Structure 1
Amino acid sequence: MKFNKAMIAFSAAALSLGVVACDGPKENAAEDAGEQQAEVVNEQAEAMEDAGQITDAQEDAITDAAEDKADAMEEAGEAADNADGN
Structure 2
Amino acid sequence: MKKISYLFIALFSLSLLTTSCREQKTTEEKIEEAVDDTGDAIEDAVDDVSDEVEDAVDDTK
So what's the TM-score if we normalise by structure 2? 0.46
Higher RCO (CA < 8 A, seq sep 6+):
1
Q: What is the TM-score of this pair, normalised by structure 1?
A: 0.35
Higher alpha-carbon Rg? 2
